[in-house]
Chain A
């Protein structure tokens, strides 16, 4: 009998469970290492070399190099660990969260000031809210590259 994982049917959301934590262990520990100033300096000097010191998958390394936060999370990353990578780049939680929506920083900030994202249509996969897969990316930042 498999464990019940009812959170698999939520749009635009990855729950960091034991399986994700297993897959992302080294990715997250790499992020954790960036809490030390010396490590931040070494990482900045040669990102690829620093990443190669960690037993991460090539996909995880590419996701970090590209700063693709959605991909990092898909590959087992957790936002509280990834925030150390964000801090190394000088980015806030709001920047990181916004970057995962395809919105520009300003678009995301404006959405929050207007009261945030509505849960309507965003509770279950198959509904029609703005976080659903069929409505990605949501903003101008995500559309820039695909033109």
Chain B
């Protein structure tokens, strides 16, 4: 049987990808960000996943305003890094896991989550920056990746509660998959940031730290937090944090082991938050 062994949470700031790709990781500004991921890179070498189920949002890359799915699961064999206007990131292509992805889609749709099925899409920094932060710069990614793109661009994003419950349904689906795969679920985006208007640059450390605390200890109550709290407290783009609740919802009911926790301001416009939680069955 497939097992969810752990979950990883991280911001996916595009400038982090640019700093990596242009060899600027040793600059003092960026060194403070990348230092927080050194323990993570060691940990994942010791705990290599077969498959990462990666929750992220598309930033007007694969999906324009022509089509806006709330939840879209990638069931394809292959996803190419997108050209977001600066040229594609020089990172490996992303190999999917079509069998497990199709299995999850079928199971969660029967559990009332109407996923959009995507066989062909390019993946943007929302998906590739987390892979770079955790795996560095290998010639090929060391695992399969199932993308789950969540709409957080057009208001309203799905509620925290809906995300939490989707995580529960994904947990059930993965437990029903016969092949013995080591699966990690990653939730990405956030933390506090706002990219638009005179309020651009908003950062709320207190909110972010409390979010991390509650995500670890009291996630089901955290999932009831309304959208307005994210928007007002964590900035208009801070609402991306609902995606972390999908990954947390996929974890076991028993308290997780906190392997690593990191928080830093800033990376470009954004507060960087990062957690690794191991499952205790």
Report if A28 contacts B (CB, 8 A): yes
Q: Are B65 and A25 in contact (CB under 8 A)?
A: yes
Interface positions, chain B 34-65, Cβ under 8 Å from A, are 59-61, 64-65
Query: B residues within 8 Å of A by Cβ?
Result: 14-15, 18, 29, 59-61, 64-66, 83-86, 153-156, 192, 194-205, 207, 228, 231-233, 236-237, 265-266, 268-269, 271
- How many A-B contacts at CB < 8 Å in the complex? 159
Q: List 15 A-B contacts (CB under 8 A).
A: A12-B197, A13-B197, A14-B197, A16-B154, A24-B65, A35-B85, A81-B65, A87-B84, A92-B15, A92-B268, A94-B269, A97-B194, A112-B269, A115-B203, A131-B197
Query: Which of B155, B194, B200, B205 lies in contact with A17, CB distance below 8 A?
Result: B155
Q: Are B269 and A32 in contact (CB under 8 A)?
A: no
Report if A41 contacts B (CB, 8 A): no
Q: Are A115 and B265 in contact (CB under 8 A)?
A: yes
Docked complex Cα distance between A108 and B85 (Å): 23
Q: Are B86 and A7 in contact (CB under 8 A)?
A: no
In the complex formed, the residue of B with least CB distance to A122 is B199
Docked complex Cα distance between A85 and B71 (Å): 27
Report if A18 contacts B (CB, 8 A): yes
Query: A residues within 8 Å of B by Cβ?
Result: 6-7, 10-18, 21, 24-25, 28-29, 31-32, 34-35, 69-70, 73, 78-81, 83-84, 86-88, 92-94, 96-98, 100-102, 108, 111-113, 115-119, 122-124, 131, 133, 136-138
Q: How far is the CB of A19 from chain B (nearest CB, A)?
A: 10
Query: Which of A70, A73, A87, A117 lies in contact with B85, CB distance below 8 A?
Result: A87
Q: Are A119 and B202 in contact (CB under 8 A)?
A: yes
Docked complex Cα distance between A70 and B85 (Å): 21
Q: Are A116 and B201 in contact (CB under 8 A)?
A: yes
In the complex formed, the residue of A with least CB distance to B237 is A79
Residues of B within 8 A of A97 (CB): 194-196, 200-201, 269
Q: Are B199 and A10 in contact (CB under 8 A)?
A: yes
In the complex formed, the residue of B with least CB distance to A76 is B65
Q: Are A138 and B198 in contact (CB under 8 A)?
A: yes
Q: Are B236 and A13 in contact (CB under 8 A)?
A: yes
